Structure 1
C-alpha cells in the first residue's frame, strides 16, 4: 500500500513539473542540424512581417517564423519591424503631413488603410500590416511556430503584459503551444519581465553579452541570439556551458544568415538555430553537408 502511495505522489509531482516547464525548443543536438527560422517570414520572397510572408514560409516547408511586435496610438498590437511606417508602407502618400510617421502616432484603423506590399513588388499590392491577433490566427492555421520579438519596448510601456494577455487569449500559453513559442527582445529588462510574468515560457535575449556577463542572463533567458558576425566556436561553446532558468543549457540562434557559405560556417560553430530571410537557401546548404 505504501509503495502505491509513494508512486502516486511521485507521478503527481512529475506531472506538475511537466506543467511548469516549457516544452523543449529544438536544439541542434536533437536533429544534428540547427533549426531554420524564417526571418519576418520568408521575407526574401514576400513582404516582411505580413501574412503573405508567413504563408510563403509555410509553402516552402518551414515551421518556425519570426516577427516583430509594436503598438498603435490606440493600443492595438501590430506586426511591423520599424518604429516608423515609412519604409514598408505607403504612409507618406496616404498621410503626407504626419512625418515622421511613427507607428505609435497612428491608430490601428489608420494603419489598416496602408499598403504594405507594393514597396516589395506590384504582385503584393494591397497587402496590409497585420494586427498581432490576425497574425496569430494565421500562424495557428499554418501550424507554424513563432519566435516573437517585442520591438522597441521602451516606446510602449506595458507591452510585455499586453502581448502575453493577447497570446493567452489566443490559446498560445497552454502547454501544447509553449513548445511552439519563444519571446525575445534586445531589451534585457523586457525579457526579464516576460519571464517573471510567465516563467514557463521560453525566452531569448537578442545580443552577444560577453562570457563574463552571461551569468547575469541565466535567471531569465533560455537563449542568447546574436548576430552571426559576432560569433565564434568558443563563444557558442561558452554559452552552452551555462544553464538557463529551466535547467537546460542556453541555446544560440544566430541572425541573419542568408547564404550557403555563412550557413555552413555558423553551423560548424555549433549554433542551435539560424534565422534567415532565405530559409530555402539555408536548408539546401545544410542538407548538402
Structure 2
C-alpha cells in the first residue's frame, strides 16, 4: 500500500468537505444519535434478494435513503452487482450451466449472466429477478432518489476496476456535485480505496476493516471512513477513529456492519458510530428512533 505523507494533503481538497455528511462532533453537539445513518445492506436484503433491483425498491418502500452494493466484472468486461465472486449461491447457474463449475463471475459473459434467475432462491415471488448491471443499478437508485454506498468487491481479481467503475459513475451522472453528496465508494482493499482517491479526489471513500489505532493516520490520507464489523469495535475505538481527520479534512466517520437487531443497533449507536449497515433497515431505524 503506497501512502503519501499526511502533510501532502492539498489545501484544495479541503474545499470539498462541504459535500460531506455531518461530523461526529456535530452529532455530539446535538446530544443525540439523530445523525446515525441507516444503510440497507445489499439493498433491503432481509426482504428481497440481495443486490437486485427488487432489494433497492424494498429499501425505498421502507423509506431508506442509503443502499449498499457490490461491484464485480464479467469475462467480457461488464460491471455487475453481486456479492460472491461465484454465481451459484444466489442464482440458478448450476442448472443453466451445469458444466461450468466453480461458476466464477469472471468466467461468464454478461449475456450468459443475463440468462440467470437471481430471485427464486429467495422466494417464488422474485422468480426471474435478474442480476443487474452497475448501469441498471445506478439508474434505479437515481429513479428512487436514493444514495449509494458502493463496494468494489475483490478488486485483486479485476485489474483496473476502480477506473472503470468511476468511468461508469461519471457516464451515469454520479460524479457531478449533486451526486457526490449521495455517493461513497468503499473496499476491503486499501490499495483499491487509495486508487479511487487518486483518480477522483472529490469522491468520498471508505476502508472496510478494523485497522490498528496507530495505523489510522495512514488510512486517513486516502479514506474518509473506517467501516468495521460491529463485533470488532467499542466506544473507545470509535472515538480514536473520529479523532483523526480523513482525506478531505473532516473527522473520519465510522459505518459499522452488519447489524440486524434493535438492541445491537442501539449499542453501536451509543458508541458514536456515524452509520449502521443492515439487512433490516426498518428494524434498525425504529431502534434508533427510540433513543432520539
TM-score where L is the length of structure 1: 0.92
Q: Does the 8 Å CA contact 1:151/1:185 hold for their aligned counterparts?
A: yes
The corresponding residue for 2:220 is 218
Q: Answer yes or no: is the 8 Å Cα contact 2:38–2:64 preserved in 1.
A: yes
Report how many aligned residue pairs link the two structures: 275
In structure 2, stretches of 5+ residues that fail to align are: 1-10, 28-32
Match of 2:20 in 1: 24
User: In the alignment, does 2:210 pair up with 1:203?
Assistant: no
Give the number of the structure whose alpha-carbon radius of gyration is greater: 1
- Deviation digits for residues 49-93 of structure 1, max 9, x if unmatched? 000000010010000000000000000000000000000000000
Which residue among 253, 258, 261 is the counterpart of 1:259?
A: 261
| Residue of structure 2 aligned with 1:130, choices 129, 132, 142 | 132
Structure 1 residues not aligned, in runs of 5+:
1-13
- Following superposition, the deviation at residue 216 of structure 1 comes to 1.1
Listed as ranges, the matches of 1:4-153 within 5 Å are: 20-21=16-17, 23-27=19-23, 29-30=26-27, 32-153=34-155
SS of the aligned residue for 2:185 comes to strand
Q: Following the alignment from structure 1 to structure 2, what is the Cα–Cα distance between the partners of residues 168 and 22? A: 20
Contact kept in structure 2, 1:22 and 1:201, CA below 8 Å: no
1 or 2 for the larger relative contact order (CA 8 Å, sep ≥6)? 2
| Cα displacement (A) at 1:245 | 1.2
- Return structure 1 stretches of 4+ with deviation > 2 angstroms: 16-22, 25-33
How big is each residue's C-alpha offset from its partner over 1:241-283, in whole Å with a ceiling of 9 and x where there is no partner? Answer: 0001111000000000000110010011000000000000001
Shift of 1:178: 0.3
**1:26, 1:140 → 2: CA distance?**
22
Match of 1:9 in 2: none
